[in-house]
């Protein structure tokens, strides 16, 4: 991590760091704070329940039979049946499309973050003529419905040999997620203290070096959060692959799940639908929880360092 | 908008145009397609024009035997196995033809760039959510005239043409201004469904007239059951029996006037009578509470689980409900009860409708192959296979499915009883904006937010707006 | 120091901008041209018709209904999602009170951080199905079932023109709060902890710390979040498409119609790509104008530290 390249001399109040700051919240606080605490905790908990309840319900229903889902929406499943998962797995062809999606999304996210952070950094910290124009050019990308541009995009992609190719799709994802990444990363780069970048230059860092070794590591919380959003967005992306990946060998998981949702609409296979929903949630959920520790420490690094 | 469908487009002309299409898009320039002179030069292969008149029993459509065939089939409630099975028969006939098949959803978005670039499949089942807008394709001259197929001898029909073996009216359902551009492979009837076992148990009669219906509803309601529900979020479902009742009351002209965007078509007395009749369900609180907020699956499930007695639907209902339907439920379809004392059509007349519209793009490389596959699918063998797999009738009139449930039996009975009086309307596939508009207006009628008069006025002004809109290609029926 | 500055700017921006221009801007520009034609969307044929599509737009009642709904959302959504997001992010990151100077969230902060983000992991199709069960209009629905326990009659959430749009807005808040919690967590993570520590040592109240330190220091991110919420409020295509009828009618009777969905219906259901694109351009213009105004209006002097 970056702290080493951070010039100590410029740290405003280094002595405050001498004591490990993590302290248990059980330490006494003032009475007013306590009332506020009770109220706040109640509110936090309520929201958590609001979020968890429908999700839990989805997962539970995926184990139920169709009859149970319809007649007793609130009950626990009578027996845990995995039938619906098997059905969902085969209908949605999840196994085969999983790998494709993983390839496209990992490549797409790396490229989006790499290119997006470069652009954002330059826009945030290098005033130059045309800076705002470039910024708004990227912001503009957030404001037009993609499906209106899909036909011209198809022809551009085809002539550049990007259609029906996993790296090609990753490149297209990158281009379409750049506006989002640039928009948020610019704000994060603006939030960073000027003092440190200045110090890096005084130390004789070149621009590239300052970016890679000083600024990028400092922007880690922002990079992680944007990275998460981009990953999820690209994982769930449906329209672009639908039009650009016509070769079934190159399908991504969203295309498989669409076919599951459609088959439910015509066959009232409720449990299969819930199983599919659960299956589609699980990969992202697992990745998020597995990396949660890293995400957490990266995001709040500044605060607990 | 140029109307080109009447002009029998030459395939090569399209191929030539399509070559420039991609370039045109990337260059951002405008393609003017007005130069039709070259398009009329005869093509050398002779495969694209009307079929040879010489009878060739094995290959009446003159399919080039080694030309590849590509199909894109909507994979929804019926799956796509029945097409794959028919392709096996095609492959027996033309072993040298390579067959490419794709089943999928959201076909409109998938195929849109292909239509523009001219690289289209030879046969498409244009069905399901997100399908291609057919009227727009017809207006753009993108669909083949299917007359060669209809005039070709049908398989296993003793010399009859394909047209002669189809259920009467099917060809008209897929016609735009008199030209058949789509052929509905599946045939459904629309009506009002109930559970026969439930009705017998309670001694409830099938209502013949709307007064019977209202009496019965009062009785049903007294048992604590809701008499009616419908697929609230898709109000087109409840508009169907209203239009059916109007057609039965006033005769076929009611529907023709609507389709032809005639002035006063929606405010005509039979329409008002039908709207009044259904409005009574609202007035008397006979509709399952919450119905207007239900998806089609929700409403149908509530109906099948005994929350409501009647629901309007097409004959796909039985297969759509699948295992949700309780054992011994015995669902049956009937046409709408008479809403006037002197209905113009017989009591048994019912609405027929196609589903699974098959189209052959004008730019297809092997359009005759596409039609040939459709001809194979319309053989008794393939039709039986389809019905056995899907519990749905095909558009073929005479064949004996081997696996028939209670719903399908009642569909066949209703269709037989209706016979030549089976009626249909076309405005919804000609004018999608009108259809969307009247559907939404109907949702207001059925929640009591507007009364039948307001409903008729609003529908009529939506129809008038389409009529006055020069950018909409108009079609006529007679 | 200055040497190589422009070389760096050009070097950093060239790659991303070329990619973005070719794959995004160029297709968008071509679409803009389509708005001047009568193109159906399914043929190589299109006729230039000047501004006719824009004239039509001005006279189209559904356009104005949709725009009104979008603007309502652009006011309501940022207030709720960002207000809640900012509140939760503060609670989870800096509100924990300790006697010794330290910055941390309330107890259970990391649990809440994971849970709050769940809704954002779901694909829009999943959210649509899930909430159609929550909003089931009979007493069996999750929400109506709950209301029934406290004696409230079932509400026809999505079936009534009075409640449908608000019901959909509530779903968007449900989904997006977690997004903004993460966004603000990352921004707070970039604030040097010394700032908080100093303020706490001075005995500043939490309220004061929030307004005097947190908000000014993450102002760039707040601003970007507000604009982003506004941009999303002006689109709302996906959520309306899955929550209103199958095929996304925007019903009942256009009571949930928004521009994004109306554009979609116009293009794909009605085969009017030319007109749909004119609507898209109008949406684009409205969004960009509002974004620029917001960014200008809210510009504060950056806190330099």
- For A31-60, the pLDDT digits (tens) are 555 666 677 788 899 999 999 887 887 778
Give chain C's domain count: 1
| Closest chain B residue by Cα to residue C62 | B437
Cα angle: B231, vertex B233, B234; to 5 degrees: 65
Residue B214 domain-assigned (yes or no): yes
The Cβ of residue A282 has, within 10 Å, a number of other Cβ atoms equal to 12
| Closest chain A residue by Cα to residue B110 | A243
Residue B42 domain-assigned (yes or no): no
A127 touches chain C (CB under 8 A): no
Bridge pairing between strands B69-74 and B226-228: unpaired
A78 touches chain C (CB under 8 A): no
CB atoms A115 and C218 under 8 Å: no
Q: What does residue B423 show for φ and ψ, rounded to 5 degrees?
A: -120, 170
Which of these three, B362, B377, B408, is where a domain ends? B408
State in Å, rounded, how far the first CA of chain C is from the last one: 21
Residue ranges of the alpha helices (H) in B121-227?
A: 134-139, 147-151, 162-165, 170-173, 196-202, 210-222
A137 touches chain B (CB under 8 A): no
* Residue A76 region by backbone torsions, left for phi larger than 0, else alpha for psi between -120 and 50, else beta: beta
A176 CA: distance to closest CA in chain B (Å): 18
Same domain for B169 and B273, yes or no, is no
- Please tell me whether residue B347 adopts helix, strand or coil conformation: coil
Same domain for B318 and B456, yes or no, is yes
Helix axes A31-63, A270-290, angle to 10 degrees: 130
CB atoms B289 and C138 under 8 Å: yes
* Residue B8 region by backbone torsions, left for phi larger than 0, else alpha for psi between -120 and 50, else beta: left
| Closest chain B residue by Cα to residue A270 | B324
Same domain for B359 and B400, yes or no, is yes
A59 touches chain B (CB under 8 A): no
User: What is the torsional sign of CA A95, A99, A101, A105?
Assistant: positive
Composition of chain C by helix, strand, coil, percent to 5:
70, 0, 30
Residue B413 domain-assigned (yes or no): no
Residue B179 domain-assigned (yes or no): yes
User: How does pLDDT run across C23-64, given as a tens digit for each residue?
Assistant: 999 999 998 999 999 998 888 888 899 999 999 999 999 999
Nearest to C156 among B21, B142, B292 (CB): B292
Within 13 A of C105's CA, how many CA atoms are on the CB side?
25
Q: What does residue B69 show for φ and ψ, rounded to 5 degrees?
A: -125, 130
What CATH number has the domain bearing residue C249?
1.10.3720.10
Q: Which residues of C46-67 are buried (b: 16+ CB within 10 A; e: fewer)?
A: bbebeebbeebbeebebbebbb
Residue B79 domain-assigned (yes or no): yes
What distance in Å separates the CA atoms of residue C12 and residue B469, rounded to the nearest whole number? Answer: 51
* Model pLDDT, residue B36: 35
Which of these three, B380, B408, B436, is where a domain ends? B408
Residue C15 domain-assigned (yes or no): no
A26 CA: distance to closest CA in chain C (Å): 8
What distance in Å separates the CA atoms of residue B170 and residue B352, rounded to the nearest whole number? Answer: 8
Peptide bond preceding C252: is omega within 30 degrees of 0, i.e. cis?
Answer: yes
8 Å CB contact between B250 and B183: no
* Token pair recorded at residue B11: 């395939």
CB atoms B1 and C265 under 8 Å: no
- Model confidence at C255, pLDDT cuts 50, 70, 90, reads very high
For testing contact with chain A, the best of B22, B105, B302, B314 (most A CBs within 10 A): B105
A93 touches chain B (CB under 8 A): no
Closest CA to C103 of C228, C190, C233: C190
Same domain for B345 and B372, yes or no, is no
Same domain for B214 and B297, yes or no, is yes
What distance in Å separates the CA atoms of residue C85 and residue B459, rounded to the nearest whole number? Answer: 45
Residue B84, class by beta-carbon neighbours within 10 Å (0-12 exposed, 13-18 middle, 19+ buried)? middle
Nearest to C103 among A29, A187, A303 (CB): A303
Give chain B's domain count: 2
Closest CA to C24 of A187, A157, B113, B24: A157
Q: Which residues of B46-68 are buried (b: 16+ CB within 10 A; e: fewer)?
A: ebbeebeeeeeeebbbbbbeebe
Chains with 3 or more CB pairs closer than 8 angstroms to A? B, C
Give the domain range for residue B179: 12-22+53-187+353-408
What distance in Å separates the CA atoms of residue B258 and residue B264, rounded to the nearest whole number? Answer: 9
What distance in Å separates the CA atoms of residue B40 and residue A54, rounded to the nearest whole number? Answer: 62
Chain B environment of A269 (Cβ under 8 Å):
322-323
Residue C23 domain-assigned (yes or no): no
8 Å CB contact between B411 and B462: no
Closest CA to B475 of B137, B30, B97, B132: B137
| Closest chain C residue by Cα to residue B27 | C30
Residue C59 domain-assigned (yes or no): yes
Same domain for B224 and B272, yes or no, is yes
Same domain for B335 and B382, yes or no, is no
Same domain for B208 and B283, yes or no, is yes
The set of residues, in sequence order, having a beta carbon less than 8 Å from that of B41 and lying 6+ positions away, is: B10, B12
* Model pLDDT, residue B24: 37
What distance in Å separates the CA atoms of residue B189 and residue B417, rounded to the nearest whole number? Answer: 12
8 Å CB contact between B361 and B375: no
B197 CA: distance to closest CA in chain C (Å): 25
Residue B476 domain-assigned (yes or no): no
What distance in Å separates the CA atoms of residue C68 and residue B136, rounded to the nearest whole number? Answer: 29
Same domain for B377 and B390, yes or no, is yes
Nearest to C44 among B24, B130, B290 (CB): B24
Q: Show pLDDT as tens, one digit a residue, over chain A (305 residues).
A: 333 333 333 333 333 333 444 444 334 445 555 666 677 788 899 999 999 887 887 778 777 776 666 666 666 776 666 777 777 777 666 677 888 888 999 999 999 999 999 999 999 989 899 999 999 999 989 888 888 888 889 889 989 999 889 999 999 999 999 999 999 999 888 888 777 778 878 787 888 888 888 888 888 888 988 998 898 888 888 888 888 887 778 888 777 776 666 666 666 666 777 777 777 777 777 877 777 777 777 666 443 33
CB atoms B136 and C42 under 8 Å: yes
Same domain for B214 and B362, yes or no, is no
Give the domain range for residue C75: 52-297
A140 touches chain B (CB under 8 A): no
C279 CA: distance to closest CA in chain B (Å): 16
Nearest to B113 among A154, A159, A258 (CB): A154
CB atoms C185 and A301 under 8 Å: no
What distance in Å separates the CA atoms of residue B235 and residue B320, rounded to the nearest whole number? Answer: 18
| Closest chain B residue by Cα to residue C41 | B112
Specify the residue for token string 């009475």: A31
Same domain for B171 and B87, yes or no, is yes
B294 CA: distance to closest CA in chain A (Å): 13
Chain C residue set in contact with B, beta carbons under 8 Å: 29-30, 33, 37-38, 40-48, 132, 135-138, 154, 156-161, 164, 244-247, 249, 251-254, 265, 268-272, 275
Q: Which positions of chain B have pLDDT values less than 70? A: 1-55
* Token pair recorded at residue A98: 């999983």
B282 touches chain C (CB under 8 A): no
8 Å CB contact between A58 and C121: no
What CATH number has the domain bearing residue B387?
3.40.190.10
Query: With 90 as the cut, is the pLDDT of residue C73 above it?
Result: yes
Chains with 3 or more CB pairs closer than 8 angstroms to B? A, C
* Token pair recorded at residue C273: 């790509």
Report in angstroms the alpha-carbon separations of C203 from C188, C196, C199.
Answer: 20, 11, 6
Same domain for B111 and B171, yes or no, is yes
Q: What is the mean pLDDT of residues C115-139?
A: 82
C210 CA: distance to closest CA in chain A (Å): 14
User: How does pLDDT run across C136-159, given as a tens digit for each residue?
Assistant: 898 877 889 889 999 898 999 998
Q: How many CB pairs under 8 A join A and C?
A: 334
Nearest to B322 among A151, A239, A268 (CB): A268
Nearest to C31 among A140, A149, A304 (CB): A149
Q: Which of residues 180-209 of A touch C (CB under 8 A)?
A: 183-184, 186-188, 190-195, 201, 206-208
CB atoms A301 and C189 under 8 Å: yes
What distance in Å separates the CA atoms of residue A236 and residue C242, rounded to the nearest whole number? Answer: 15
C225 CA: distance to closest CA in chain B (Å): 32
């Amino acid at each position: 991590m970056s702290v080493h390249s951070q010039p100590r001399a410029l740290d405003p109040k280094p002595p405050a760091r001498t004591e490990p700051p993590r302290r248990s919240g059980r330490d006494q606080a003032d009475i007013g704070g306590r009332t506020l605490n009770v109220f706040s905790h109640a509110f936090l908990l309520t929201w958590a329940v609001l979020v968890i309840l429908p999700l839990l319900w989805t997962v539970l229903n995926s184990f139920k039979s169709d009859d149970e889902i319809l007649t007793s929406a609130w009950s626990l499943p009578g027996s845990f049946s995995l039938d619906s998962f098997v059905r969902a797995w085969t209908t949605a062809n999840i196994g085969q499309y999983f790998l494709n999606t993983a390839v496209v999304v990992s490549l797409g996210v790396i490229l989006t973050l790499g290119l997006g952070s470069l652009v954002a950094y330059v826009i945030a910290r290098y005033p130059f003529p045309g800076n705002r124009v470039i910024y708004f050019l990227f912001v503009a990308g957030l404001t037009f419905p993609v499906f209106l541009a899909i036909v011209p995009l198809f022809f551009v992609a085809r002539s550049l040999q990007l259609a029906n190719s996993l790296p090609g799709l990753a490149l297209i994802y990158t281009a379409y997620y750049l506006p989002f990444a640039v928009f948020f990363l610019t704000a994060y780069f603006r939030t960073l203290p000027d003092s440190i970048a200045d110090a890096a230059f005084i130390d004789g860092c070149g621009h590239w070096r300052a970016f890679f070794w000083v600024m990028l590591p400092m922007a880690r919380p922002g990079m992680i959060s944007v990275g998460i959003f981009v990953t999820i967005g690209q994982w769930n992306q449906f329209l672009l692959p639908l039009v650009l990946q016509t070769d079934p060998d190159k399908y991504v998981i969203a295309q498989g799940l669409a076919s599951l949702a459609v088959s439910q609409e015509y066959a009232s296979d409720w449990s299969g639908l819930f199983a599919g929903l659960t299956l589609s949630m699980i990969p992202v959920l697992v990745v998020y929880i597995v990396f949660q520790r890293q995400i957490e420490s990266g995001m709040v690094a500044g605060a607990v360092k | 908008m140029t109307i080109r469908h009447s002009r029998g487009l030459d395939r090569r002309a399209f191929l030539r145009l399509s070559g420039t299409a991609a370039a045109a898009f990337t260059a951002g320039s405008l393609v003017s397609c007005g130069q039709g002179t070259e398009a009329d030069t005869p093509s050398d292969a002779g495969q694209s024009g009307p079929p040879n008149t010489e009878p060739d029993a094995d290959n009446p459509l003159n399919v080039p035997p080694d030309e590849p065939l590509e199909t894109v089939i909507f994979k929804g409630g019926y799956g796509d196995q029945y097409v794959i099975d028919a392709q096996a028969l095609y492959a027996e006939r033309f072993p040298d033809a390579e067959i490419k098949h794709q089943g999928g959803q959201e076909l409109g978005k998938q195929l849109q760039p292909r239509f523009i670039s001219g690289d289209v499949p030879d046969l498409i089942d244009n069905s399901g959510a997100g399908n291609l807008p057919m009227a727009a394709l017809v207006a753009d001259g993108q669909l083949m005239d299917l007359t060669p197929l209809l005039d070709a001898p049908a398989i296993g029909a003793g010399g009859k043409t394909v047209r002669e073996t189809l259920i009467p009216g099917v060809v008209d359902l897929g016609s735009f201004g008199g030209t058949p551009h789509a052929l509905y492979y599946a045939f459904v009837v629309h009506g009002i469904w109930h559970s026969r076992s439930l009705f017998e148990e309670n001694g409830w009669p099938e209502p013949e007239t709307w007064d019977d219906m209202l009496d019965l509803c009062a009785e049903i309601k007294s048992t604590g059951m809701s008499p009616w529900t419908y697929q609230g979020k898709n109000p087109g479902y409840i508009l169907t029996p209203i239009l059916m009742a109007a057609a039965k009351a006033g005769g076929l002209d009611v529907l023709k006037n609507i389709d032809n965007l005639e002035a006063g078509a929606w405010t005509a007395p039979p329409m008002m009578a039908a709207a009044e009749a259904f409005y009574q369900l609202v007035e008397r609180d006979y509709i399952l509470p919450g119905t207007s907020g239900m998806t089609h699956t929700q409403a149908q499930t509530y109906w099948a689980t005994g929350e409501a007695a009647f629901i309007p639907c097409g004959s796909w209902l039985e297969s759509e409900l699948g295992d949700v339907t309780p054992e011994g439920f015995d669902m049956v379809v009937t046409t709408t009860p008479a809403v006037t004392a002197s209905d113009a059509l017989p009591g048994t007349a019912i609405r027929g409708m196609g589903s699974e519209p098959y189209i052959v793009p004008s730019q297809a490389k092997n359009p005759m192959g596409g039609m040939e596959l459709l001809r194979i699918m319309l053989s008794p063998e393939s039709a039986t296979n389809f019905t056995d797999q899907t519990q749905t009738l095909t558009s073929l009139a005479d064949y004996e499915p081997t696996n028939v449930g209670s719903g399908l039996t009642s569909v066949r009975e209703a269709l037989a009883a209706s016979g030549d009086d089976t009626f249909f309307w076309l405005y919804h596939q000609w004018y999608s904006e009108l259809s969307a508009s009247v559907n939404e207006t109907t949702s207001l009628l059925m929640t009591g937010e507007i009364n039948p008069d307001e409903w008729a006025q609003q529908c009529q002004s939506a129809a008038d707006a389409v009529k006055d809109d020069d950018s909409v290609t108009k079609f006529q029926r007679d | 120091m200055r040497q190589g500055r422009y070389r760096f700017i050009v070097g950093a921006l060239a790659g991303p901008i070329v990619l973005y221009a070719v794959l995004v801007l160029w297709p968008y520009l071509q679409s803009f041209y389509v708005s001047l034609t009568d193109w159906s969307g399914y043929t190589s044929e299109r006729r230039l018709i000047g501004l006719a599509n824009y004239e039509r737009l001005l006279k189209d009642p559904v356009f104005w209904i949709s725009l009104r709904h979008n603007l309502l959302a652009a006011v309501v959504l940022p207030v709720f999602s960002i207000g809640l997001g900012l509140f939760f992010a503060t609670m989870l990151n800096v509100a924990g009170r300790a006697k010794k100077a330290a910055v941390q969230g309330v107890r259970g902060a990391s649990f809440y951080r994971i849970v709050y983000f769940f809704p954002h992991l779901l694909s829009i199709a999943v959210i649509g199905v899930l909430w159609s069960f929550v909003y089931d209009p009979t007493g069996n629905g999750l929400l109506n079932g709950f209301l029934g326990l406290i004696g409230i009659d079932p509400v026809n959430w999505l079936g009534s023109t009075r409640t449908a749009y608000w019901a959909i807005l509530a779903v968007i808040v449900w989904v997006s709060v977690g997004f903004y919690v993460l966004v603000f967590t990352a921004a707070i993570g970039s604030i040097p902890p010394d700032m908080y520590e100093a303020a706490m040592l001075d005995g500043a109240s939490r309220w004061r710390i929030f307004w005097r330190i947190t908000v000014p220091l993450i102002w760039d991110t707040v601003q970007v979040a507000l604009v982003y919420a506004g941009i999303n409020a002006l689109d709302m295509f996906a959520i309306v498409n899955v929550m209103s009828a199958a095929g996304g009618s925007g019903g009942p009777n256009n009571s949930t119609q928004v521009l994004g969905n109306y554009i979609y219906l116009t293009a794909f259901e009605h085969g009017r790509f030319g007109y749909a694109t004119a609507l898209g351009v109008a949406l684009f213009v409205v969004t960009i104008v509002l974004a620029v105004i917001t960014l200008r209006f809210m510009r504060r002097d950056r806190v330099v530290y």
